Structure 1
Amino acid sequence: MNQPASDSLFSRRQRAFLLSADPELAEMFGSLWPPETMELTVFERGRGAIEFLFNEPPDLLVVDNRLDDISGKEIAGLVKSENVYRQLPVVMVLDEGDMGEPWDWNQVEVDDFLVRPFTADEARDRVNLTLCRAMRALDANPLSKLPGNTSIIQRIQTLIDAGEDFALAYCDLDHFKSFNDKYGFSRGDEVLMMSARVIVNTIRGLGGVKSFVGHVGGDDFVYIVPPDKAEESAKRVIEAFDSIVPHFYDEKDRLQGFIRSTDRQGNERTFPLMAVSIAVVLNLDGRLKHYGEASAIAMGLKKKAKENPQSSYVLDQRQD
């Protein structure tokens, strides 16, 4: 058997409920992960687990369709009918005989299934995949669908721990709030979607490089590229952004080059058209030890970039 899931797969210990009266299934699942990675609680009857499930919801629910008192389909329906628990991943264990007719997976609200007979390796990897898929879906930014803060932090720390050289760019839209206040959230969301596409397409256009793009939230984005692509990518993002963003303004505002809106103190003032500030942190020769260092460095660089009223980037020029 391959090595069990390690702590690096999940950021904290997971809690799983197994609803099954099959002792062999319980023994198999109990052997798949070390206790510090997965805490498994077994219930032999489905209805007896429901109260525990809603009072102390686990991170994962595995339901055996062989339960005598309630079907796996019913258990999944009960869980997914509660909005609070809709994100709880559910895996159903079926028998070959259950697969005689096609299942209507729109009606059976499970996230994956296992069909007996299956190996311990298969069960472990399918469950790990289900948990990772659920975490990615929950973390994804609902507007841009890009990976969110949890995934961003995990990716940065993974690269740091692996000792890889990389450039981490933080992109912040300048004067976005004033645009949002004047034109409304709908047009503001269009700008955010445009910004996400600009960054994704720019990084993809570099060709053949290991990269990552994430959406921290609001008007903050990040991307990761090799260090030798840091400056080129920043220039390309700025060029594309500056060529597109004026078209989101009404003609009068676009021609005059500014808008009138309200500042954070409630005073009306003029604001220039939106720009993008990019702070690029370089991790070379293992100089970073924790993702928090990258964030702290980027804040200082971003402040410097924002001193320029136009779109600009600042590269990390620290020396060891």
Structure 2
Amino acid sequence: MMWSKLRKRFRRFSVFALDKRRTITSMIAEEVGNGATVVLFYVDIVKLTDIENRYGDLIAKRVLHIFERTLPTVCQDVLEIKGRVLAIQKLWGDDFAIYVSFPKGSHEEECRLLSISFQEQAELQLNRHVSFVNREDLRVHIGYAAFPGQDVVKEMYTSVKHAVHMAKYGISSEKYTFVTQYHKLLQDEDIHTQFMPIVDLRDGMPLGWEALARGPENTPFFSPAALFGYAEETDTVFRLEHICRKRALEHLRYLKPHQKMFINIDPRAIDDPYLLRGDLIKLLEQTKLNPHNIVLEITERHAISNYSVFRKIIEEYRKKGYLVAVDDAGAGYSSLESITEIYPDFIKLDMSLIRNIDVDPIKQALLETIVQFAEKVKCKIIAEGIETERELESLMELGVTYGQGFYLGSPAKGMAHISGQAMNFLRRVREASAKTDREPRIHAPVMTDIVTKTICVGKQTKVRQVHQIFEQNQRIESVVVLEEGKPIGLVMRFQLYQILGGQYGIALYYERPISQIMNTNPLTVKKDDQIDEVSKRAMARDAYHLYDVVVITGDNGEYIGIITVQSLLDKMASIKLEMASSANPLTGLPGNVQIERELQARIKRSEQQVVIYCDLDRFKWFNDRYGFEVGDQIIVRTARLLKEAVQHYGNERDFLGHIGGDDFIVMTTPNCLDAMTAFIIQAFSSYFLDIYHRRNLTDANGLSMSMAGVRLSPGRFGSVEELAQQAAAMKKIAKSIPGTVFVADKAEEHGVSFSDAVQEC
């Protein structure tokens, strides 16, 4: 009689093997299509292997057989109160999946209560029939997961995993509740993003922001440590990271073309279709950005098991234009190996290396080595975890270019800039550096001296046509995109070939306008800009654009031409060589060649300036009486005095040169004049006291300096010779006055605000 009842119950339920899974999926899809909610309940016997080890395989099989017989009864008594059991599927060993349809829907609490009831009933039935072993009561695991119904085949796998993870913790435990909430968070994609600024330590401007994932506020998942901890436990790291990246990249529209978004990628979840083959390209097109605005941070927290495969995926990202950073360098498993294998654009140093670096000489020495290494391989260093002013100052002294940390700016919902406290500190450092580290300027030619031409196209030109231009003109490496005669973008040969060489490059882009893949933010400079300044800006670009050409424009922004980085560096090298060859060998200051060029350039400017000619009085007498060695010491000391005056009281565009012998020249602006000359007059005598005392020289008061100032206003002088004549006249007046003096010319007809100004000591 009992067996006949069981047979009837088994007829109502189908027990499927795995090869029948398609039948189950069709049943689930049909139920979901009819508006029902389908829930998978996973059950297994706790520690069945212990019974097998203690009592043997035969007894274990009998326990499993009894468990199989009791399942239909428990399903009918518990689950069919609210729903309809579609199937009971044996997964493996003692693991079973029960598929239940709830025509009126079900909610989380209802499933939890049903699971508790099912567990109690299943354990009661199992222990009632298993009375042949001396042991504690057998226990049953249970977990559940609902089918969203979007992709049933895929959800069959994910739902089983979900339910298994829940069953592991115990249905009534707090951890079970949290895991349930975590899976609901994944299902709803309830992830939020905060952004932490990454700052250029030279000027405080943001290089970009690191996107940091947060769960819902006022939940255990708000902390990223807890959030990713549950991802590790439930083996859902890839799914969670995929959601985090999607949420972060929704904020791309707030980026400027030169800024970057740093997003984290676990090495185990690096092959993300959303980045490689998804809709991200369309999003970038809409925001007028490129993949090089995105930096993929490869975290060092987990070992990379297969570098050959990993490197191929990284290269696929690079071909599309993404930049790469090694994150947490110094704290992971194999920092050096990752760096040598990945060739990153950025190295992010872990906060463990940065903490207390201001008082730790070992860390300082290590970081100094890393900075030198990065410079050689054209990689940028980012210091993480900067929390104090002293740490920041030490990092700047060691040559670190970029940084992030709570001192610079905390994570925020929007893309905030550097904190006011940190910005004020950087400003003070920059001002102090400008005064103490300024070197005399060298005259450098302007852009038009080395400009060349390249082919230009309109923004609607097809990618195919630009590709043909490169194919037909093998000697050109760049194409400039113009709109109404003004440059709006740049396409480099190697960058275009990288994009088209990708798996879907030609299919995606070949017939699209070039504006969709061009660099919308190339380095653009004015035709009158100085080459030395432009070269600094060119070499400060990220590695991906380091060798892009520089676009030259006119006064109204119109396109004039381009210069290559190679020609820029060659010209700078020749300028430095020329400067070294023509500099005064005694003082190292620019000589007459640079002085004349600088005067010619300043005569053409439209700003007010002052040229000061400095001449030592009675120097020849001192030189003849005490010898050339003393004379050279006086010349060198005079150069040092003038350099100190320019550094402390001048500005960044001031020029100091050595005409020859005891004659020097200073070029500055009227607002710096009084303070600079007053300092020279006041400090002159004391600057030479040690020379006098060391040599027991007499007539010390006989050495002085005559300074003649010539007002350089727009249009006043037509040539260097005219200016020199006026300077000679003023120097004659200065030399007629005893002591160290400064005399300025009177040029009222030119609107000069000073006349016959005389300072003397």
TM range (shorter): 0.5 to 0.7
Shift of 1:240: 1.3
- Aligned equivalent of 1:296: 725
Runs of 4+ in 1 over 6 A off after TM superposition: 117-120
1:70-94: CA deviation from partner (whole Å, max 9, x where unpaired): xxxxxxxxxxxxxxxxxxxxxxxxx
User: Which ranges in structure 2 are unaligned for 5 or more consecutive residues?
Assistant: 1-446, 452-474, 477-546, 550-562, 750-761
1:43-71: CA deviation from partner (whole Å, max 9, x where unpaired): xxxxxxxxxxxxxxxxxxxxxxxxxxxxx
Answering whether residue 748 of structure 2 is matched by residue 319 of structure 1, we say: yes
The one of 188, 191, 194 equivalent to 2:634 is 191
Shift of 1:303: 0.7
Q: Distance in 2 between matches of 1:253 and 1:123?
A: 54
User: Rg: which structure is higher?
Assistant: 2
- Aligned equivalent of 1:148: 591
- Aligned equivalent of 1:212: 655
Shift of 1:285: 3.6
Q: Distance in 2 between matches of 1:246 and 1:296?
A: 34
- Aligned equivalent of 2:671: 228
Q: Secondary structure at the match of 2:738?
A: coil
Check the 8 A contact 1:246/1:273 in 2, yes or no.
no
- Aligned equivalent of 1:305: 734
The one of 181, 191, 215 equivalent to 2:624 is 181
Aligned pair count? Answer: 196
Check the 8 A contact 2:604/2:714 in 1, yes or no.
no
Shift of 1:310: 1.1
Q: Distance in 1 between matches of 2:747 and 2:650?
A: 28
Shift of 1:252: 6.0
Check the 8 A contact 2:613/2:727 in 1, yes or no.
yes
Check the 8 A contact 2:615/2:663 in 1, yes or no.
yes
1:95-128: CA deviation from partner (whole Å, max 9, x where unpaired): xxxxxxxxxxxxxxxxxxxxxx998713322221
- Aligned equivalent of 2:450: 5
Check the 8 A contact 2:651/2:668 in 1, yes or no.
no
1:1-320 correspondence to structure 2 within 5 Å:
5=450, 121-206=564-649, 208-249=651-692, 253-254=697-698, 257=699, 273-320=702-749
1:152-186: CA deviation from partner (whole Å, max 9, x where unpaired): 11111111112221110000001111111111111
Change in Cα spacing, 1:124 to 1:236, as seen in structure 2 (3 Å) is same
The letter of the residue matching 1:140 is: A
Q: Give TM-score, length-normalised by structure 1.
A: 0.56
Q: Secondary structure at the match of 1:276?
A: strand
Q: Distance in 1 between matches of 2:687 and 2:648?
A: 17
CA RMSD in angstroms comes to 2.5
1:9-66: CA deviation from partner (whole Å, max 9, x where unpaired): xxxxxxxxxxxxxxxxxx89xxxxxxxxxxxxxxxxxxxxxxxxxxxxxxxxxxxxxx
Change in Cα spacing, 1:207 to 1:151, as seen in structure 2 (3 Å) is closer
Check the 8 A contact 1:213/1:222 in 2, yes or no.
yes
Q: Which of the pair is proportionally richer in helix?
A: 2
Q: Secondary structure at the match of 2:635?
A: helix
Q: Secondary structure at the match of 2:610?
A: strand
The letter of the residue matching 2:713 is: L
Q: Secondary structure at the match of 1:163?
A: coil
- Aligned equivalent of 1:22: none
Change in Cα spacing, 1:230 to 1:207, as seen in structure 2 (3 Å) is closer
Q: Distance in 2 between matches of 1:151 and 1:188?
A: 24
Q: Distance in 2 between matches of 1:172 and 1:222?
A: 9
Q: Distance in 1 between matches of 2:600 and 2:585?
A: 24
Q: Which has the higher contact order (CA 8 A, sep 6+)?
A: 1
Q: Distance in 2 between matches of 1:3 and 1:207?
A: 29
Shift of 1:190: 0.6
Shift of 1:253: 4.5
Check the 8 A contact 2:658/2:664 in 1, yes or no.
yes
Check the 8 A contact 1:230/1:280 in 2, yes or no.
no
Change in Cα spacing, 1:293 to 1:174, as seen in structure 2 (3 Å) is same
Check the 8 A contact 1:164/1:286 in 2, yes or no.
no
Q: Secondary structure at the match of 2:570?
A: helix
Q: Secondary structure at the match of 1:317?
A: coil
Shift of 1:207: 5.1
Change in Cα spacing, 1:249 to 1:124, as seen in structure 2 (3 Å) is same
Check the 8 A contact 1:173/1:277 in 2, yes or no.
yes
Q: Give TM-score, length-normalised by structure 2.
A: 0.24
Q: Secondary structure at the match of 1:249?
A: helix
Change in Cα spacing, 1:4 to 1:143, as seen in structure 2 (3 Å) is closer
